[in-house]
């Protein structure tokens, strides 16, 4: 049973009935607590195959075993025995893929808050092999190795969850992402959420990254005590292989002239404009700048369309994490830009679907051919015409010799809902923002 203790002998708090463990080729890791120098043996039973792990000794109060790789499926009972004396058992254990869903308020945004929430909630019981778990971030930690509390223990999705929780409070993006994956993979999916709205990016950064940036505090708080780092550390003890998801920043204010959001979007991708890239190789992202929700009762920073975000992320997972061929997961990105005396021709890396726009493209006019930046004069570059994989934009607002840069969707709120000018040919994936500077910093 979940949370069973027997004289200090127990599983770590994020193991429990109904859980999903990582399938082959990885070896699922199990650990817990017990008296020093005692031996612990772990075995599986009740499923199509048996799996006995070699006995391990408890050291510094902790025992840890790695199971033989298990194929997807189940259910199993998982039992840990302390020197043939005491035993603890977890039931209804499945093997599949386990995903960690971390983030701020838009990842924490619940299923009850999305568009068509009642329809989404009605689907919950149809996916019994998609299991969910939620860390209790608001609680303190006894030590870096384990969580002191669990908000939602491992549960089979139903309207009412174990521990008295309610499914409608679970992360919408995480749940729908897992559901999309299950529809394709047809084997168990485990979803672990660790979300905290409004947290600074430093709280999600590794100690090495913080040291590189010469940061050791957030608003006077010692970063060694930031709970989010603790949670990720805890999860890494159980699940060692992750593909990082990057949901690109959405929108905030429709009429804003600030370039803060497009700058954040750009830097999220290590200044490439897309992911994966050379600096973010094991990464995929979902562009959400076309999903603005001006009337959201939760504020425009929290758009309610999480369905498209989850679906776009699932495409990235299939292509990057699972290596599925033929899955298109990235919107169009320029592969070549040519300038003549009347227009700029932008050739994309795939076929495109285009609609008219007077100002989604902008060009930088620089008389002295200096590098363009946020302080430079950027003027509209209306779309003139387009083909299967190319778009022509006008240079009428800037003579050819003065065109020093080109950018796309460089605004807080680039377009109305699902109405950006450039999409993939099927109209599903929006072209991400880009900025191209014609002249280098030094001649």
What DSSP string describes 157-214? -SSB-GGG-BGGGSBHHHHHHHHHHHHHH-S-EEEEEEE-TT--GGGGS-HHHHHHTT
pTM: 0.89
The H or E element containing residue 310 is helix 307-316
* Percent of the chain residues past pLDDT 70, beyond the cut: 81
pLDDT at 201: 74
Per-residue pLDDT band for 441 (boundaries 50, 70, 90) equals very low
> pLDDT digit string (tens) for 390-405?
999 999 988 666 788 9
Burial of 103 (0-12, 13-18, 19+ CB in 10 A): buried
* pLDDT tens for each residue of 249-276: 678 888 888 888 888 888 888 999 999 9
- Predicted confidence at residue 189, as pLDDT, reads 96
Nearest CA-CA partner of 247 in 296, 298, 315? 315
**pLDDT (tens digit per residue) in 99-122:** 988 888 999 999 999 999 999 998
Region 339-347: what's the mean pLDDT? 89
On the question of pLDDT at 241 being above 90, the answer is: no
383-386/390-394 β-pairing: antiparallel
Please give the structure tokens belonging to residue 289. Answer: 């700048």
Average pLDDT over residues 406-418: 94
- Per-residue model confidence (pLDDT) at position 223: 52
The pLDDT tens digits for 65-80 are: 999 999 999 999 999 9
**Can you give the pLDDT at residue 243?**
52
pLDDT value, residue 411 = 92
pLDDT at 149: 56
Tens digit of each residue's pLDDT (9 = 90 or more) over 163-174: 556 788 899 999
| pLDDT on residue 235 | 61
Reported as a pLDDT band with limits 50, 70 and 90, residue 6 is: very low
Average pLDDT, the chain: 84
pLDDT at 245 over 70: no
pLDDT digits (tens, 9 = 90+) for 44-101: 998 777 777 889 999 999 999 999 999 999 999 999 999 878 899 999 999 999 998 8
pLDDT score of 225: 45
State the average pLDDT over residues 177-205: 88
Closest CA to 103 of 202, 204, 236, 227: 204
Question: Cα(158)–Cα(124) distance, rounded to whole angstroms?
Answer: 6
Residue 139: predicted pLDDT: 41
Q: Is the pLDDT of residue 3 over 50?
A: no
Going from the C-alpha of 395 to that of each of 12, 182, 407, the distances in angstroms are 63, 48, 13
361 or 222: whose pLDDT is higher? Answer: 361
């Amino acid at each position: 049973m979940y949370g069973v203790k027997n004289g200090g002998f127990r599983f770590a708090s994020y193991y429990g009935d109904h859980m999903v463990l990582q399938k082959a080729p990885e070896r699922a890791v199990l650990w817990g607590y017990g008296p020093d120098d005692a031996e612990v043996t772990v075995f599986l039973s009740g499923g199509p195959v048996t799996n006995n792990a070699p006995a391990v000794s408890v050291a510094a109060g902790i025992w840890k075993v790695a199971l033989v790789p298990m194929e997807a499926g189940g259910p199993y009972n998982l039992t840990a025995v302390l020197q043939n004396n005491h035993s603890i058992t977890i039931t209804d254990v499945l093997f599949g893929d386990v995903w960690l869903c971390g983030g701020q308020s838009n990842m924490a945004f619940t299923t009850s808050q999305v568009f068509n929430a009642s329809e989404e909630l009605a689907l919950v019981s149809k996916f019994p092999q998609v299991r969910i778990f939620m860390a209790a971030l608001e609680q303190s930690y006894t030590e870096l190795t384990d969580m002191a509390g669990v908000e939602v223990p491992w549960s089979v999705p139903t309207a009412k969850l174990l521990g008295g929780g309610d499914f409608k409070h679970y992360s919408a993006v995480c749940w729908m992402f897992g559901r999309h994956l299950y529809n394709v993979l047809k084997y168990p999916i485990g979803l672990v959420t660790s979300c905290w709205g409004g947290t600074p990016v430093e709280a999600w950064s590794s100690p090495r990254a913080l040291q590189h940036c010469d940061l050791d505090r957030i608003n006077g708080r010692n970063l060694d005590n930031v709970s989010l780092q603790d949670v990720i550390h805890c999860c890494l003890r159980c699940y060692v292989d992750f593909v990082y998801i990057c949901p690109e920043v959405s929108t905030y204010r429709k009429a804003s002239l600030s370039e803060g959001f497009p700058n954040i979007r750009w830097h999220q991708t290590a200044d490439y404009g897309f992911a994966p890239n050379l600096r973010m190789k094991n990464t995929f992202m979902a562009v959400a700048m076309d999903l603005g929700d001006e009337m959201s009762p939760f504020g425009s920073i929290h758009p309610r369309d999480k369905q498209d975000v989850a679906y776009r992320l699932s495409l990235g997972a299939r292509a990057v994490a699972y290596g599925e061929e033929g899955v298109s997961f990235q919107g169009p990105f320029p592969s070549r830009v040519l300038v003549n005396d009347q227009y700029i021709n932008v050739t994309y890396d795939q076929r495109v679907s285009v609609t008219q726009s007077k100002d989604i493209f902008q060009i930088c006019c620089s008389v002295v051919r200096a590098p363009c930046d946020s302080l430079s004069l950027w003027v509209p570059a209306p779309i003139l015409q387009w083909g299967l994989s190319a778009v022509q934009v006008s240079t009428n607002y800037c003579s050819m010799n003065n065109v020093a840069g080109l950018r796309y969707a460089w605004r807080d709120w680039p377009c109305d809902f699902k109405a950006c000018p450039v999409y993939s040919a099927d109209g599903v994936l929006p072209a991400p923002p880009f900025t191209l500077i014609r002249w280098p910093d030094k001649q």
